[in-house]
Each structure stands twice: as C-alpha cells, then as structure tokens.
Structure 1
C-alpha cells in the first residue's frame, strides 16, 4: 500500500469519497489540512465575527459562497471528500456520517479553518515526536475552562489539542509552531492541564487518549473544533462539521501559511 503521507490531496479525497473513514493526521505530507463548519447563511456573519474575535482558535483559511460545495482552497466536494462528518441540530450532535449530500442545503456557507495537523510535519523535521501519529490514532482534544469572546448568537469554550513533548524539546515545539499563526500557531498552555480546566488527560472530549511518558510535558494548542463547541453551547439550529480529527485536505501547501 502507498504511504498515506505520499498521497496527493486529490488522491486522498478520492479514497474518502469511496468510503474510507480514518483520522487524517500524517496524510498528504506538505499539504494543508482544515476544519470544516457549514452553517446557514443567516448565521454566517456571526461565525465570521466569532472567528475574527477568537483568531487563535478559529483561524479562517477560506469561506465558500452559499450552497457551494467547494472553495478556492478545496477543489473537491465538501459533501463527500472528507472521511467523516458530524451533524448538529439545535446544538446537539445527532449523527456522524461519511457523506452529507442528502443533508447539504442551498443556504449553507462553508468555513475552512486552520488545523494544527498542518504543522506536525515541521515538528517531526525538528525532532519533536508526535505521539498520535506514532500510535496511528486520533489526536486528543479537550474542552477547556477558557471562554471564547462571544459574537452575536455564538459563544462557548475554547477547545485544545494536546501533544506530549519531551521537556527539553518544549522550546523547539513552541518555536516551530509559532511560525504557523494561520493554523493556530504557538501553544496556548504548557504543563498542568487542570490550570485550563482539564480534569483527566486520559478522557479527551474528542479524539483518542495518548500516553504521556516520564520526562514529557503536555503541550496544548488551540483547536479548530472550537466553533463546533460554540454550535453546541449556543444551540445552533443546524450545522455540519467534520468529525474531529477527520479533516478537509486542501490544495494549499503548508509553507503558504508559514512565516519567517
């Protein structure tokens, strides 16, 4: 089998369209991954404002036209070309599905938001291990006690992703990821998870737990699942997002979002 890291975005999207369901960490090395959230047109301004007010957690990479199923960064079909989707009604997650063609509406506006998977290859090149890639699992993600700044009808907590980093490499991880501000940038917290309201690293709210070994420090980055948490907290009538960790693989290169 071909190494999934060597696939092009179009090849990966074709596999997902054919029914493959898998987290996308480590896929399509060098190509930018993105979070998807599609909301009704009347909510699109609130979501755009929410993202503008919370740019570290919700960095906007692209926005589609109402009803559009592709964007300038994503040349595939947003209804079929992600490995899995989460559907919300009145703030509740009501279904996790592999295809949303029957649910897509002409008034939906699709937002693509930066994803920290984009900087993981840079971490690996710098010698920083990425445990969930090593383990072949999904990244662990957690709801925090950190409130986002509200916008219109949207409010909610920040979501973070966590990667255990050897203590000596934490400065390297900070330096490397700070060069990717459009995909969450530097960590928002290092160390004790309780300080940001996380009671147990072994029970993530999304994704899979990973081992934190002796000599390692948990490092937390803002996560693009944050607006889905706002959808839940705000009781949004209808929305479609990606299943956390199952991203939209775009046609943009990672280095497009890297700063000197």
Structure 2
C-alpha cells in the first residue's frame, strides 16, 4: 500500500514520528511537508530530534492569511496526488495543512485517514475547530485518541470507520522521554534546577491577537513568585512588541527562543508541579493552565 502523509506544523511532526516507524515496516510512505512551519526552530530541529526522514516534497508555502495559505496548499497537493496516486492519504490534527490534504484527497476520491479525529472545542471562532470538523466529515478512517472523541463524532452522525486508538502524542512522549532526559540541556544552561520554575507557552490567536488577553497573561506572569521559562513563539513576540508589552515582562520571566521537542519535554517534566499564588491570582487568571 502506498500511503501519502501530509504534515506542516510542529504538533504534526511529533504525531507522525511514532507512526512513520510503524508504517514503513510494511508499506511505502510518501512524506509531504507543506512548509506551514518553516524556520529552523519551528521545523527542521524537530525532524532532526525525532529522526523523521527528509520529506519527499516540501511545498514551502510559508506564513500568510488563512485563505491564501490553504489555497496554495490545495494547488500544490493536488499536483502531488495526481503524480503519486496514493492508496491512502494520512492527515494529522487540525491545521490548514490538515484541511488542505483532506479536501484535496476527497475531491480526487482518495481515501482519507485522520489521526486525532473527533476532538472538539465547540468554539467556531477558532480556525482549528473549523479544520477539525471539515476534515472529520470527509475522512474514511477516523483515528480517535479518546472515547470522548468517538462520542463527539457520533453526535455529528459519524459512526463508520471510527476507531479509538489512543493518543499518538503519548506514544511519542513515551518513546522520547529518556532521550530528552539524557540530551536536553536548556535547564542547566540557564542555571536553574528542577522544581524551581514554571514553563509557559502562548501562541493561540485568541490570546496573541487580543490586547486584553495578552495583557492579562503578562500581568499573571509577573504575579508569580518563581521564575517562568517562556519560549516565545514568533507570533507571540510580534504582538508583545506591537502592543508595547515586551518591555513589561518582568525579570523573573526568562524569555528564550522557541525550543525543539526534546528540550521542551525536559522542561515540562522537571518544572514545579504546585504553586502558592498571590491572593486573587486564581480568581483573576483562572483561564491560565501550566503544561502538565
């Protein structure tokens, strides 16, 4: 069987890592990277760390508005499908790359398999939610991470080809956890010890693009009484500077560039698990969650 896998963003690199090892034992796989995440910190470091093979195709679409980005992907992916004639198209998660791969395949009457099917936020203002719903409704095989995801699909009338297979992100974590403990050095490089810090990420458009939400997050960071390691997504850095919030990050917030998977995994595993917060912090900032 010839399987063509579409990836384009960091979460998809992590998800495809355990699967390509299994797929290539018995099947031919063609790997297509859309280039949705394209700079070294957002893309190539993940391929190296997770030992993902070099993509057979890299579309290099880069960053742009949703319609333009997805449109470029549709055009280029269709050319590849017509050339390769895969038996199955495999898509991951909820990005524009996911939707472009699924839509193109369905219009060419190719079988579509969706890894991480059935997840829902029920917030249609999120682009990811639109991508999830549309991808699920054109997929032939829907690989769900949880029973809740299966039930979400059932509510939408999708019951055929649905499988609860577990969370592939957990598979990736289990495979890489010992590698991360051995190789990751960010914590030592910063002169911090385990359990003495928190790690935070902020990248969703609903947070980065909103002055109100981003200001609240910055204020919450400065309310915490221990260091926060803050790997800054390029989008987040852009809006922090645009809104004049960059200089309001207090000294305890340790701003660093985006990290690879192994470095981020090590930080999350050894961060402080509990925190005594200032009075009123939980009431004002209950939307904040620290990585588990």
Q: Which has the higher contact order (CA 8 A, sep 6+)?
A: 1
Do the structures match in fold with TM over 0.5?
A: no
Q: Which of the two has greater helix per residue? A: 2
- Higher CA-based Rg: 2
Q: TM-score, normalised by structure 2?
A: 0.23
Q: Which of the two has greater strand per residue? A: 1
Q: TM-score, normalised by structure 1?
A: 0.25
